[in-house]
Each structure stands twice: as structure tokens, then as C-alpha cells.
């Protein structure tokens, strides 16, 4: 008599796939010693940054010693930090999303919110460490003396930034234009001359016709200022470079962090420019604010937009 039992349905199923390293890190972090938990938290906070970091950098971020990094890797079955990081990079390639460089597809709303805000704050903090205030003041001095300032850009984010720049310069009483058409940029470059400034906004810094306009403006004697990444063709063309370096975005060529960094640089520059211009600038800004208040624009008390016009009723108003 054969006493063996037929295999159960579950025994015929293929084994469950081994969870990826990111999933293992999440599932096991609470069971690890405190120091190793700190390492795991640092890795999960920004996995791509962890892959790019050195052992020393990761140890500093986690607040642990370098041997603790090695022990953490061994806790997950890797003999070396290099093997651990290779597995992490492979897991990111498979499970990472094209949503944001710090966000994974399975992250919760709270995770997404925390990671994006943290990434933005970290980028601005790094900008604060790297920004060259001497160049800021040199640019402000050039703008203060310029006969005309033409702002060039291409692309959605850079165009918005250039528009903001032009508006801020205009409010300070300077002659400024925002030019986004490639042909018009060349026309502008040909007419700026030695007293003019071509202010080029391009984080990518490699758009051929924008770089060409910058080179042409410089050949005509104009000062070329670039808000861009260091080492780009645009940066190499410019007389003065406001350098902005932020991590590459997973979705757009110019991500939110670059956009925020550009706006912060412009804010710093405009304040320093206003300080150099002195009472003329502050008086103009005060008059502008008073004018807006007089007409009710940007004011909570302004009811003009709610005026229905002759013969019409405001909301809630009844006939008498």
C-alpha cells in the first residue's frame, strides 16, 4: 500500500520571487540594530543619491562609522558595499519610477510629499553652500549700468524664469525685454552693443540657437550673463556665470528643483541690485505698490472684479 499523499496544490506552485533589495530594506529595517537602521533610513530616503555616494559620504549622512556601513551590507547578504550598491542600482532600474528621482512607484502620499519637499530643501541648501556671492555682485553691477537688458531663454521652465527676471528688472526702473524667439534673439544680439547685457537663462545650456545668440551678442561688445549649469557651452560663452547645479530630474530636463534654484538666485540678485541702485529703486518700488493699492489690484478690498455692471445683480442681491 502506497501511503504517500498527493502533492498539495501549493507545493506545485513556483517559489515566490525573492523581494528586491528596496523591499527588503523596508521590511527588515525595524529588526536591525539602531546604527544599521540609520544606514537603511539614509538609503531609503534617497536611493539614487546613496548609489552615487562614497562609503564615507553615506556614513556621514547616516551618522555612523564606515564599518557600520559594511556590516549593514552584510546583514542583507552582500560581502561588500560595492555588491550592495550594485544590487540597489539594479533594483532601482527595475522598480524605480519616472515620477521623481527620489520617489518609488509604491510610495504612499506621505512618502511622496516628504521626499519631494526634502529633495527641494536639500537642493536649495546645497545651492546656499555653492553660490558665488562675488559673481552675484558683479552681475548686479553690470545690470545697474546697462543701457538695455535683453533676457533670452527657451523651454517652458526657463521661459517662465526669464519672464520673471524681466518683470523684476522692469520694476526696478531698468530697460529690460524678454525674448524667446530664436530669430528675435539674434536681432537683439546685433543691437545691444557695449552698453547692453544679454541675460541668458537656460539650465541645460546647450540649445544651439540660444548659444549662438549669446556668442553674437558678445561679439558685438555686449556683456553676456548666463544662469545655467557650469561646464555647458552657454557657460563657456558667457562673461559671467550664475552657476546652478542640481540633481537631474526623472521626468523633465529641467525639474522642479532646478526651477526653484533659478528663482532663488534671481531673488538674491534682485535684492542685491536694488541695494546697489539705492533710493531710486526703493522709491520706484514704493510708488508701484502705492499705484496698485490705489486701483485695488492685488488687494483683498478690491471689489471691481465683482461689479456685475449696469442692470445686473451681484450674487445674492434681490430685486426691490
So what's the pLDDT on residue 53?
86
So what's the pLDDT on residue 105?
67
pLDDT digit string, tens, across residues 210-229: 999 999 999 999 999 999 98
So what's the pLDDT on residue 115?
81
40 and 161 in a single domain? The answer is: no
Task: Work out how many domains the chain is built from and give that number.
Answer: 2
Q: In this structure, is residue 3 part of a structural domain?
A: no
62 and 197 in a single domain? The answer is: no
Domain limits at 100?
A: 19-128
pLDDT at residue 88 greater than cutoff 50: yes
pLDDT digit string, tens, across residues 11-29: 443 343 456 788 888 888 8
d(CA 168, CA 66): 48
So what's the pLDDT on residue 4?
46
Q: In this structure, is residue 310 part of a structural domain?
A: no
So what's the pLDDT on residue 243?
93
d(CA 75, CA 38): 14
Q: How confident is the model at residue 114 (pLDDT cuts 50, 70, 90)?
A: confident
143 and 284 in a single domain? The answer is: yes
The mean per-residue pLDDT over the stretch 70-79 comes to 94
Q: What is the pTM of this model?
A: 0.63
Name beta bridge partners: 228: 243
Give the CATH number, domain containing residue 47. 1.10.10.10
69 and 150 in a single domain? The answer is: no
pLDDT at residue 104 greater than cutoff 80: no
pLDDT at residue 150 greater than cutoff 90: yes
Question: Dihedral of CA 117/123/129/131: which sign?
Answer: negative
DSSP string, 196-250: EEEEEE-SS---HHHHHHHHHHHHTT-EEEEEE-TTSHHHHH-SEEEE---PPPS
pLDDT at residue 303 greater than cutoff 70: no
Cβ proximity of 214 and 227 under 8 Å: no
Amino acid at each position: 500500500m502506497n501511503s504517500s499523499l498527493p502533492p498539495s496544490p501549493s507545493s506545485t506552485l513556483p517559489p515566490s520571487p525573492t523581494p528586491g533589495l528596496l523591499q527588503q530594506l523596508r521590511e527588515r529595517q525595524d529588526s536591525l540594530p539602531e546604527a544599521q537602521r540609520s544606514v537603511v533610513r539614509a538609503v531609503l530616503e534617497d536611493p539614487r543619491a546613496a548609489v552615487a555616494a562614497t562609503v564615507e559620504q553615506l556614513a556621514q549622512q547616516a551618522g555612523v562609522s564606515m564599518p557600520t556601513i559594511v556590516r549593514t551590507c552584510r546583514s542583507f547578504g552582500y560581502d561588500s558595499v560595492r555588491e550592495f550598491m550594485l544590487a540597489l542600482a539594479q533594483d532601482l532600474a527595475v522598480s524605480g519610477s519616472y515620477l521623481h528621482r527620489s520617489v518609488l512607484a509604491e510610495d504612499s502620499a506621505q512618502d511622496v510629499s516628504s521626499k519631494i519637499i526634502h529633495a527641494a530643501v536639500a537642493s536649495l541648501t546645497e545651492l546656499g553652500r555653492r553660490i558665488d556671492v562675488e559673481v552675484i555682485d558683479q552681475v548686479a553691477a553690470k545690470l545697474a549700468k546697462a543701457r538695455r537688458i535683453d533676457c533670452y531663454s527657451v523651454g517652458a521652465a526657463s521661459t517662465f524664469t526669464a519672464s520673471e527676471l524681466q518683470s523684476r528688472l522692469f520694476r526696478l526702473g531698468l530697460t529690460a525685454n524678454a525674448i524667446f524667439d530664436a530669430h528675435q534673439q539674434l536681432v537683439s544680439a546685433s543691437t545691444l552693443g557695449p552698453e547692453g547685457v544679454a541675460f541668458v537663462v537656460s539650465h541645460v545650456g546647450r540649445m544651439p540657437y540660444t548659444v549662438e545668440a549669446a556668442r553674437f551678442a558678445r561679439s558685438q561688445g555686449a556683456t553676456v550673463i548666463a544662469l545655467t549649469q557650469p561646464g555647458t557651452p552657454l557657460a563657456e560663452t558667457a562673461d559671467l556665470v550664475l552657476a546652478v547645479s542640481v540633481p537631474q530630474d526623472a521626468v523633465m530636463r529641467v525639474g522642479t528643483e532646478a526651477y526653484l534654484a533659478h528663482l532663488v538666485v534671481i531673488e538674491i540678485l534682485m535684492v542685491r541690485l536694488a541695494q546697489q541702485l539705492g533710493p531710486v529703486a526703493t522709491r520706484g518700488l514704493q510708488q508701484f505698490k502705492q499705484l496698485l493699492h490705489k486701483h485695488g489690484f492685488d488687494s483683498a478690498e478690491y471689489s471691481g472684479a465683482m461689479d456685475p455692471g449696469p442692470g445686473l445683480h451681484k450674487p445674492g442681491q434681490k430685486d426691490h
